[in-house]
A = this chain, B = another copy of it.
Amino acid sequence: MKKQIVEILRKNQLSITDGRKKILELFLESDSALAHHDIEEKIQEKFDRVTVYRTLQAFMDKGIIHTIPTADNSIKYALCKDDCEQGHHHDDHIHFVCKQCGQTICLDEVHVPSVRLPQGYHADQVEVVVSGLCKECN
């Protein structure tokens, strides 16, 4: 596990620092998406708020994580699959937000249905967010 973390950072040419290792570990351990707020809460050793912002930004830039659109104002982050390149994410899975427990998870096994757009539109990316009740809360 520790090894995998270092490897990901190295592959993306990011210096291996405690903060980054810790935050990346959180993502690897968690099967649901994390908001900035969650990260601050879940990390024992306190890192500066600003460091968390910058770390998330760095991970975003490198395509290690991506944001998940949510209808409420919160931004959630989740790990990208391996084939994401810098700036171009190709998440062909859907996101599920549980209305009860608030967890946001990536349903990797459910593929994004294809959407037929009107003439003239060009689609780069399709995001699907399903909300309802998760396995535990149902």
Interface residues as binary, A72-96 with B (CB distance below 8 Å gives 1, 0 otherwise): 1101000000000000000000101
Provide the bound-state CA to CA distance between A122 and B137, in Å: 9
Residues of A within 8 A of B (CB): 66-73, 75, 94, 96, 99, 107, 109-110, 113-135, 138
Q: Please give the count of copies of this chain that the complex contains.
A: 2
Chain B residue nearest in CB terms to A96: B121
| A138 x B121 contact (CB < 8 A) | yes
Q: Given A124-B132, A131-B124 in contact, is the A107-B117 Cβ separation under 8 Å?
A: yes
User: Nearest chain B CB to A7's CB is how many angstroms away?
Assistant: 27
Q: How far is the CA of A114 from the CA of B116 in the complex (A)?
A: 13
With contacts A69-B69, A128-B115, A129-B129 known, is A134 near B121, CB below 8 A?
yes
Q: Known contacts A126-B130, A133-B122, A138-B122; is A110 also within 8 Å of B99 by CB? A: no
Bound-state CA distance A48–B126 (Å) is 36
